[in-house]
Structure 1
Amino acid sequence: MTMTVKLINPFPDLTVKELLEDKLLIPRKTRHFLRTKKHLLINDQTVHWQHLVKIGDAIELIFDEEDYPQKIIPFGDKSLVEACYQDDHLIIVNKPEGMKTHANQPGEMALLNHVSAYVGQTCYVVHRLDKETSGLILFAKNPFILPILNQLLEKRQMSRQYWALVTGQFPHKNLTYRDKIGRDRHDRRKRLVDPRKGQDAVTHIKRLKPYQNTSLINCQLETGRTHQIRVHLAHHGFALIGDPLYHDKPDLRLMLHAHQLSLTHPLTLEKIQVKAKSTSFEQRLAQEKS
C-alpha cells in the first residue's frame, strides 16, 4: 500500500536532513528509502539532502509497504464514535465510560476498532484512558505521524485536563501531587504510591466546587502513569466517586472525565484545543447539586 503525505513546511529554514531527522522523526532506514527511491519532493522537485527547505515550501513524501508495513485490525461500529476534531493525520474522539481504548483479546472490539471503522483505515493509539473513564483520546491516522505524536506526549507538550468528583471536602484551591507510582505486588490490577521504586508522577489539581460530602476538582496531568489521578487522590484520602479499585463504595460510574485536550499540531504548528462533555457525568454530578 502506498501512502503519500503532503504538507506545507511550517518550520524556519532548515535542511532536508534536519527536517526528516529532527522534525518528522523518520527512521534512518526509511530516510534511506526516501532518498534512493526519490520519494521526497520539495515544490515538486527531487532535491539533495542539504537542500534548504523554506517556510511555505510544499513537501511530498511517498511511503510504500517497505517503509511502513500495513497493519490490519477488525473494524468496529463507526456509529459509536463521537469525533471532536480530525484532519488528514490525527483524530480526537470522546470516549464513553465502560469502553476499552484498545482490545486485549482476539476478536474483542474496543474504541480503536470503532475509530478505525469511522476513519476507514487502521488507526493507532497515542494515549489511553481507563475503561471506566470517559473523555478525549487522540489517535494517529497513519504510522508516519504516530512517533511524532508520541514524542509530544513524552516531552509533556500535550495538555490533558480531567473533571473528577471526589470523596470529602477538598481543602486546597490549588495543589500538586508528586508521589511516585508503582505496581501493587498484591493486586496486578492496581497501582500504588511507591516512593522507592515508583515512577515520577505529577498531577496538578484545582478545586472547582465543594458539595456537602464531595468536591468537584480539575486535574491536569503532567505525566501519564497508569491510574495516576485515581492513585494520587485515593492515597491522599480523596478517592474518586465510583472507583471500582480505589473506593470501597459502589456508584453509578467512575466520576472521571477527560474534558480538555490541547496540543500544537506538529505538522502545521496550529494550536488545537478540544473540549467535550459527558452526559452520564453531568447526570451523576446533578445529584450533588440537588
Structure 2
Amino acid sequence: MKFTITLPENHAPTTIRDLLETEWLVPRKVRHFLRMRKNVWLNGEVALFHQEVVPGDSLTLVLEEDDYTYQEVIHGDKTLVTPLYEDEHLLIVNKPAGMKTHPNAPDESDTLLNHLAAYLSEQNQRPYVVHRLDKETSGAILFAKNPLVLPILGRMLEQKQIGRRYQAIVHGRLDKNLTINKKIGRDRHDRRKRVIDERNGQQAVTHVTSHEVLGKQTEIYCVLDTGRTHQIRVHLASIGHPLVGDPLYQKKSAARLMLHAIELNMTHPFTQEEISVTAAPGLW
C-alpha cells in the first residue's frame, strides 16, 4: 500500500515523527517498520523521522500488506452501494433501512460491509468500519478505505469532530425543542434492548428539534453528543414519544423504523477540505 499526501496550506510545521505518531496515529510497530525499511519519502526523496515538514510538502508512505490486519468478509453485491462522497481515503454511503452495517458471523454476506467489499475490490481497496447504524436505520454512514486513515477517523468521532444529524418521526405532539440527558444501559431481560439506567448506564445526550406536527405524529431532528446503542430510540421512548415503526421500543406501526441519518459533515483529516453530505430522500 502506497499513500502520498500533500500537507495543506494551513498545516503547522512539524517533524515527520510527530506527524506520524501524534497526528496520523500510525501504530508504533508500523512506524518502526517504516523507519527501518526507509519507506517514508519527502518530496520524492527518502526521509528521516527528524526532518521537518511544512505546508505544500508531499509525504509518501509505503506500507506492507501485513503491517495491518484485516478481517476478510464475503463479497456481496456492489450495486447495492450508494456513494455520497468518495476519495482515496474515505467513503460516505447511503445505507438502506433493513440492512446491517457489518456481519456478526463469517458466513454472512448481505450486510453493507459485504457490499462495500465487492464495490472496493475493483479499486484494490477494502472497507473499514468507523461507526455503525442500526439495521433498521437508514442514511449517511462513514467508512475508511485504508488502515492509515481509520484511527484518525475514530479519534475524530470520539472528539465530536464528525457531525451527524438525524431525521425522525415520533408518536404524539412534540412542539418544543429539548435536550434529553439520561444514562443508557443494557436491558437485563432482553439482550437486544437498551434502557434508561441512571445508576449504572453510560452518559447519553440527545438534542431534539421539533420540525413539524403531523396530526398525531411529529417530524423531528436529532443531534447527538454521544453515540450509545439505540440512543435516539431509547431517549425518545423515555419521554413518551417513541419512534414510529420501532419494532423494539414500541408496537410496530409502520413498514420501517422512521429514523434516518440525513446529514454528515466533517473536515477531511488530510486535505482539510470541508465535507458535507445529505442522504436523500430521507423519510418522505
Q: TM-score, normalised by structure 1?
A: 0.93
**Count of aligned pairs:** 278
CA shift, 1:24, in A, is: 0.6
Instruction: Answer whether contact 2:74 2:108 (CA < 8 A) is retained.
Output: no
1:177 counterpart (175, 180, 194): 180
Match of 2:64 in 1: 64
Of 123, 137, 160, which residue of structure 2 is paired with 1:156?
160
- How much has 1:122 moved relative to structure 2? 2.3
1:48 aligned partner: 48
Compute the displacement of 1:97 (Å). 0.4
Q: 1:138 pairs with 138, 142, 151, which one?
A: 142
Q: Could you tell me whether the CA contact under 8 Å between 1:260 and 1:275 is conserved in 2?
A: yes
1:210 aligns with 2:213: yes
Q: Per-residue displacement from partner, 1:250-269 (whole Å, max 9, x unpaired)?
A: 32110000000011111111
CA distance in 1, matches of 2:70, 2:216: 52
Please tell me whether residue 265 in structure 1 is matched to residue 268 in structure 2.
yes
* 1:134–1:278 Cα contact (<8 Å) kept: no
Residues in 1 aligned to 2:258 and 2:70: alpha-carbon distance in whole angstroms: 38
Quote the Cα distance in structure 2 between the aligned partners of 1:44 and 1:70: 29
* Amino acid paired to 2:113: L
Alignment correspondent of 1:111:
112
CA distance in 2, matches of 1:66, 1:81: 28
> What is the rounded CA distance, in whole Å, between the counterparts of 2:252 and 2:75 in structure 1?
37
- Deviation string for 1:179-224 (max 9, x for gaps)? 1111011111000111111111111111111111010000012211
Q: 1:159–1:222: 8 Å Cα contact kept in structure 2? A: no
* CA distance in 2 between partners of 1:112 and 1:86 (Å): 15
- 1:99 partner letter: M
Displacement of 1:78: 0.5
Q: Deviations over 1:12-37 (max 9, x none)?
A: 10111110011110011111111010
Query: Hey, what's the Cα distance between the residues in 2 that align with 1:53 and 1:201?
Result: 40
Q: Which runs of 5+ in 1 are unaligned?
A: 283-290
SS of structure 2 residue aligned to 1:220: strand
How many angstroms does 1:70 deviate by?
Answer: 4.9
Per the alignment, residue 245 of structure 1 pairs with 248
Task: Give the letter aligned to residue 118 of structure 1.
Answer: Y
Q: Aligned equivalents of 1:73 and 1:192: distance in 2?
A: 32
Residue aligning to 2:73: 73
Secondary structure in structure 1 of the residue aligned to 2:45? coil
Q: Any unmatched runs of 5+ in structure 2?
A: none
Cα pair 2:138 2:259 within 8 Å, conserved: yes
Call closer, same or farther: CA 1:192–1:70 in 2, change over 3 Å. Answer: closer
Q: Is the 8 A contact 2:7 2:271 kept in 1?
A: yes
Give the 5 Å matches for 1:116-135: 116-120=117-121, 121-135=125-139
Distance apart, 1:71 and its partner CA: 4.1
CA RMSD of aligned residues (A): 1.2
State whether structure 2 residue 151 is matched by structure 1 residue 147.
Answer: yes
Letter in 2 for 1:116: A
Partner residue of 1:16?
16
Secondary structure in 1 matching 2:154: helix
1:286 is matched with none
Other-structure match for 1:285: none
CA distance in 1, matches of 2:269, 2:219: 33
1:4 aligned residue (2, 5, 9) = 2
* Contact 2:175–2:213, Cα closer than 8 Å, also in 1: no
* Cα distance, 1:117–1:249 mapped onto 2, change above 3 Å: closer
Partner of 1:34: 34
1:134 to 1:70, Cα distance in 2 relative to 1, 3 A? closer
Q: Could you report, residue by residue, the CA deviation over 1:141-166 in whole angstroms, capped at 9, with x for unpaired residues?
A: 11111111111111111111110000
